[in-house]
């Protein structure tokens, strides 16, 4: 669907990403997991076309890929009500809303009765749902999400995770999700890639498989805990080179 082939990114002399290879399959939920400053957000910006790679290649499908971005802060426009915020992408791309599309998306994110409200009247979780609804308005086949739940409390976060999985199944979209929360990565993903802290590069890839539907019970299962433990160890390895300052000591 979209892939990065041996991509590196430098800002002046600062190397942020090094030889990254990544492939996103249709309908896949891929999570980029790594410590702060490992270039996760830069990776998403590359995929979105907001940055150009210094080396390597970004391969997109021939028919222009329809994608949307969900930011860490919801980035809603405070002078527009919820309905106007959600319709913004269509306004900017000069597209018309197909009949009932807005109502469908509002009910999908459970905000139907709030469409005339303004962002400052909503809670953090609701603002994030508006941000996701806005991203869905252009019917994207790929959703890029940059730590969208990092500022939410734990209960809201769990609720948002379930809603996101439901949305992904309903809309059959691919998601690239960036986080530094291991438990979040395990719960949500089909595949997790762990990035190293300095000169970000992928050091480990893990497919996540559960028997049955993902719900709160999964969080108590042994399989879930095994994945979390394994990824915690990998995350520790990912941070070591940064702490010792020895960039060559990256685990193979």
Partner 1 sequence: MRCPLSSHLKKALPPFVSFLLFFSLLELANRLNLISSQLLPPPSQLWVTFVSMFSDFKEAFLQTSTSVSVGLILSALLGISAAVAFSLSPILRRAILPFAIFFQTVPIIAIAPLMVIYFGFGQPTVVASSLIVSIFPVIANTLIGLENVSRGKLDLFQIYHANRWQTLWKLRWPSAYNSIYAGLKVACGLAVIGAIAGEFVAGGGLGAMIDSARTQQRIDIVFVCLFLLSSLGLFLVGALRLLNYFMQTHFHYGLTLKD
Nearer to partner 1, 138 or 181 (CB): 138
Shortest distance, position 85 Cβ to partner 1, whole Å: 9
Alpha-carbon distance of 113 to 104, in angstroms, equals 12
User: Smaller CB distance to partner 1: residue 12 or 79?
Assistant: 79
How far is it, in rounded angstroms, from Cα 236 to Cα 177?
Answer: 20
Residues 6+ apart with CB under 8 A from 154: none
Which of 78, 212 has the CB closer to partner 1? 78
Rounded-to-integer distance, Cα 40 and Cα 38, Å? 6
CB of 63 to partner 1, least distance (A): 16
Q: What span, in angstroms and rounded, lies between the C-alpha atoms of 227 and 222? A: 9
Q: Say how far apart CA 91 and CA 208 lie, in whole Å.
A: 38
Q: How far is the CB of 42 from partner 1 (least distance, A)?
A: 12
Chain residues in the site for partner 1 (CB under 8 A) = 45, 48-50, 68-69, 71-81, 88-89, 91-93, 118-120, 127, 138
Q: Tell me the closest approach of the beta carbon of residue 76 to partner 1, in angstroms.
A: 4
Nearer to partner 1, 88 or 240 (CB): 88
- Compute the least distance from the CB of residue 3 to partner 1, in Å: 20
Closer to partner 1 by Cβ: residue 126 or 208: 126
Cα separations in angstroms, 140 against 26, 50, 100, 135, 174: 12, 17, 17, 8, 9
């Amino acid at each position: 669907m979209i892939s990065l082939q041996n991509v590196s990114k430098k800002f002046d002399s600062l190397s942020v990403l090094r030889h990254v290879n990544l492939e996103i399959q249709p309908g896949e939920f891929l999570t980029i997991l790594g410590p702060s400053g490992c270039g996760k957000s830069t990776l998403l910006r590359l995929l979105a076309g907001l940055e150009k790679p210094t080396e390597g290649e970004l391969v997109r499908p021939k028919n222009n890929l329809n994608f949307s971005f969900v930011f860490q802060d919801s980035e809603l426009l405070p002078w527009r009500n919820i309905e106007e915020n959600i319709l913004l992408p269509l306004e900017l791309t000069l597209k018309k809303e197909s009949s009932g599309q807005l109502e469908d998306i509002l009910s999908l994110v459970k905000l139907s009765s709030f469409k005339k409200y303004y962002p400052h009247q909503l809670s953090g979780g609701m603002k994030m749902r508006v941000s996701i609804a806005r991203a869905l308005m252009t019917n994207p086949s790929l959703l890029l999400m940059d730590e969208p739940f990092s500022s939410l409390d734990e209960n809201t976060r769990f609720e948002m995770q379930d809603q996101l999985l439901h949305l992904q199944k309903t809309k059959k979209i691919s998601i690239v999700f960036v986080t530094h929360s291991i438990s979040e990565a395990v719960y949500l993903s089909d595949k997790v890639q762990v990035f190293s802290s300095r000169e970000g590069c992928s050091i480990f890839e893990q497919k996540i498989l559960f028997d049955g539907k993902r719900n709160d019970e999964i969080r108590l299962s042994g399989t879930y805990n095994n994945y979390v433990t394994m990824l915690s160890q990998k995350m520790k390895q990912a941070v070591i080179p940064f702490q010792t300052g020895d960039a060559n000591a990256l685990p193979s």
